[in-house]
């Protein structure tokens, strides 16, 4: 529920603007990265993924950028809509089969 | 397809009680995992399984047991509940685990008093 979002960094974006959510990952051996969206009271939902042999991948209104040099991942959402309001998590995966999540960012849409 | 089904949705336990959180998936996924979610902490991996008969520890396994006797089911057991285990628990599955996105259930909210 709502308590999940307490103490999370918040990004406030005007409706219609582009949103950029950033994530630093920890393991240089990670080779698969995923972005999830979590709405209040629900489990996380898959948005987009990228493998380490790529540096950019586009979906519908979303783009993921991967910078392996500085271990940084970003999610860009074009023309942000009220329905994009949620908590966004990045996750990383490596050969030990563990999928590890970042702490999350709350996206708040301003009317 | 129902996807990933978690039961119960809510549970209140007293310290020292035991219980099992149930998780079932009908997608024939090999990989299943359990996470707990606390405010400001994101999702932390408790245990995971790459297939029936195989389980392994995640980031925060202490106080929890799992088993994977079938592909479909991956129950999480709390043998002696503690207030520190108050959290929202999510079960997830994927076809292959490390190279495919997770499908999540809707969670179990557990309170230990």
Q: Let me know how many helices (H) and strands (E) chain B has, helices first.
A: 0, 11
What residues have CB less than 8 Å from A4, skipping those under 6 apart? A38, A40, A87, B37, B39, B88
CA–CA–CA angle A10, A14, A16 (5° rounding): 125
Tens-level pLDDT at each residue, chain A (111 residues): 333 445 689 999 999 999 999 999 989 999 999 999 999 989 999 999 999 999 999 999 999 999 999 999 999 999 999 999 999 999 999 888 899 999 899 999 998
**How many Cβ atoms from other residues are within 10 Å of residue B69's Cβ?**
10
CB-nearest to B42 from A45, A93, A103 is A103
Please indicate whether, in this complex, the C-beta atoms of B92 and A94 are within 8 angstroms of each other: no
**Residues B63/A25/A83/A38 CA torsion (nearest 10 deg):** -10
Residue B98, min C-alpha distance to chain A (Å): 5
Q: Which residues of B touch A4 (CB under 8 A)?
A: 37, 39, 88
Per-residue pLDDT tens over the stretch B55-113: 999 999 999 999 999 999 999 999 999 999 999 999 999 998 888 999 999 999 999 99
């Amino acid at each position: 529920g709502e308590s999940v979002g307490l103490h999370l960094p918040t990004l406030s974006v005007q409706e219609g603007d582009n949103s950029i959510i950033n994530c630093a990952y920890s393991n240089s051996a990670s080779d698969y990265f995923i972005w999830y969206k979590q709405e209040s009271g629900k489990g996380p939902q898959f948005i987009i993924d990228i493998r380490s042999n790529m540096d950019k991948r586009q979906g519908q209104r979303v783009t993921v950028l991967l910078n392996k040099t500085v271990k940084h991942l970003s999610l860009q959402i074009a023309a942000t809509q009220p329905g994009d309001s949620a908590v966004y998590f990045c996750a990383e995966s490596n050969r030990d089969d563990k999928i590890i999540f970042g702490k999350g960012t709350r996206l708040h849409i301003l009317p | 397809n129902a996807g990933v089904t978690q039961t119960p949705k809510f549970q209140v336990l007293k310290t020292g009680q035991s219980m099992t959180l149930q998780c079932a998936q009908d997608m024939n996924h090999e990989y299943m995992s359990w996470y707990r979610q606390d405010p400001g902490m994101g999702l932390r991996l408790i245990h995971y399984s790459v297939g029936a008969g195989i389980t392994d520890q995640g980031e925060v396994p202490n106080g929890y047991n799992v088993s994977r006797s079938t592909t479909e089911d991956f129950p999480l057991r709390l043998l002696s509940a503690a207030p520190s285990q108050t959290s929202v628990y999510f079960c997830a599955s994927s076809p292959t685990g490390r190279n495919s996105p997770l499908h999540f259930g809707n969670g179990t909210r557990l309170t230990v008093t």
